[in-house]
Amino acid sequence: MENTVFTRTDRESVGQRISAGVYNLVIGLVLCWGFLVNWVMVKTIPYEAIAGINPWVFFLGYLAACFFGIWLFTSSDTPLVSFIGYNFVVVPFGLIINLVVCRYNPSLVLDAVRVTGLVTLVMMVLGSLFPRFFAKIAGALTIALLIVIIVELVEVFIFKMHHGIIDWIVVVIFCGYVGYDWGRANQIPKTLDNAVDSAASLYMDIINLFLRILRILGRRR
């Protein structure tokens, strides 16, 4: 997803440059931290505790936390502050994940995790090999995502239905975003803060991809 993280130049990036290996390692560690937090939340927070929250309070709190976290990590050039912003995104996403995965058999959830991991790896490789291609389709991805969100909201709240094809479209869109964000992450200056910020953007892509893949697998079984 387009934000100021991937438009940073050498002049705008503060902090000591690190090697490509360390840079990618930090991205991986930050991603693993987010996934670990989500796993702990699913294991320790009862579904009833989340489901009992007023839907409007939950929805507004979710949006507020996510947007604050995004603002924090995109506007900060301090790794610690960016990491705090990242966690403001990870926690509300973890609540959503908790509400979703409880509906499925644990083996199916593991299947979705495996498929998501493989798809993510493939898209990262493609993002590294063809960064220009993904940069060209970034605008189309954004437009497509906005259209899908509007269509899905109309379907759910007005027609009380959901077409499975939308899940496939969203999977394709976020596959594109993973390739795009990974390609761009390796084109900006390699600093510790940029690694954290890039991981935060990739985290949102991967979690959205996982939730849709889980729904598709669940429907097929």
Summarised one tens digit per residue, pLDDT across range 149-176 is: 899 888 877 877 777 889 999 999 999 9
> Residue 191's beta-bridge partner residues?
17
Residue 105's alpha-carbon distances to 53, 76, 97, 101, in angstroms, are 24, 40, 14, 8
pLDDT score of 2:
45
Tell me: the pLDDT tens digits for 80-106? 999 999 999 999 999 999 999 999 999
Quickly state the pLDDT bin for 15 (edges 50, 70, 90): low
Tell me: the pLDDT tens digits for 99-128? 999 999 999 999 999 999 999 999 999 999
Sign of the dihedral through C-alpha 162, 164, 168, 169: negative
Q: ∠149-141-93 over CA atoms, to 5°?
A: 55
Which of residues 5 and 140 earns the better pLDDT score?
140
> Residue 17's beta-bridge partner residues?
191
Tell me: the pLDDT tens digits for 32-75? 999 999 999 999 999 999 999 999 999 999 999 999 999 999 99
Q: Contact, 94 vs 42, CB < 8 A? A: yes
Percent of the chain with pLDDT over 90: 81
Name residues whose C-beta falls within 8 Å of residue 4's C-beta, 6 or more positions apart in sequence.
74, 75
Kindly report the average pLDDT of the chain as a whole number: 91
pLDDT score of 156:
76
Which of residues 56 and 4 earns the better pLDDT score?
56
* Cα dihedral 85→88→93→96 (10° resolution): -170
Q: Contact, 30 vs 83, CB < 8 A? A: yes
Q: Contact, 145 vs 173, CB < 8 A? A: yes
